[in-house]
Each structure stands twice: as C-alpha cells, then as structure tokens.
Chains A and B, each alone.
Chain A
C-alpha cells in the first residue's frame, strides 16, 4: 500500500523567510511525486512534479528515495504563496493517473 504523510497541518512564516513543507511517503515501488496547490477560492492545480526537476514560482522539491521524502522549499516566501499544499504520489507500476494524496499543509505567509 502507498501512503503520503504531511506532518504539518498548519505552517506560518513571515514574508521573506524561507519555507519548507514536508512530505514523506511510504511505497515499495517506484513513485512519481507531485505537489498540488489550492489557492483561496481556486481549483486544485499542479505546482510541480519531481520528474521535471523544475522550479515553479520559486518553489523546488527534490525526491530523496533514501529518506522517502519530497519536501517543498522556497528560499523567500511571498504573501501570495499562502495556500493549501498537497503532496501526492503516483505509482509507476500502475497504469493511469491515480494519485494518493497527503492530508495537506495550510501555509500562511504573514506580512
């Protein structure tokens, strides 16, 4: 079985401070990891995926298979980063798009 854990339900930082949203997963096969974000009154949307190794809106995430983690980081948080962030896992062994989500972290960036 696969499982995604986001240990912090709430995270509050000040503008300009670094931010790290933690994500740990449990899966014996080859995972594909994603971060999805939901801004206030907007739809859930993809932020980034580990396979792309990209930086989106200043956020990066590195898949650490040894520690089974995929933490999301940004060096200087902005107020517009305030949102709900979900870490999600897809099994490479499974066809299709099925995602297992963590419970989410509500990030608040204070002015």
Chain B
C-alpha cells in the first residue's frame, strides 16, 4: 500500500497569511491525526479526525482547524499565521489505536 502523503512538502508564508496543508492517509485508514513538531516543544498533538468528525483536540488556539473528507483525506488550516507557527507538521493515519503511520511532513516557515 502507498504510505501517507502530505502536500506541499515545503511552504513559506508571511505573518498574517493563512495556510492549508493536505494529508492523504493509507487506503482503508479512517483516522487521521495531526501533530506539530518544533525543536522547542517537540511533537504536540493538534487534532484527530475519524469518519469526518473531530474525535480529539489538542491545546492549540482556534486559528488551527482541520477537516476530513468522505475519502478520509484531511486538511488542516492555520489562519493569521505567527512566526511561532513555523514548524514541521506531521500527519498520521491509523486503522487501529495501536499503530500510527506517519507522513513525511510539511515544513512551514513563517517570515
């Protein structure tokens, strides 16, 4: 099976702009989770979607939002970008709660 894919792989945005990142899970996986990875904070959970519904949410401001489509593909959106939003955003899909399969990530740089 093809692995988790994320697009774009790299992105440069300016403060105040908004950005949308995309994640395509492994075929058959209905759960998609998003994580933010930074040198200072490590890997932090953003949210999880299952069957188009948000199942879990981390402690991030409302500027971070997401959605999932009927084909399980997911997008996350960050509005009003801040410098501190610069990070690697990882998407992971799963079929069971015992293992998550991670994508390569989207490297977002906010200038």
Contacts and interface: CB of A to CB of B under 8 A. Distances in A.
A32 B43 CA distance: 17
Interface residues of B, number: 25
Contacts of A29: none
B42 A90 contact: no
Chain A's interface size range is 20 to 34
B68 interface: no
B97 A97 contact: yes
Contacts of B44: 101
B48 interface: yes
B88 to A, nearest CB: 10
A100 B41 CA distance: 12
B100 interface: yes
B43 A101 contact: yes
A43 interface: yes
B33 A98 contact: yes
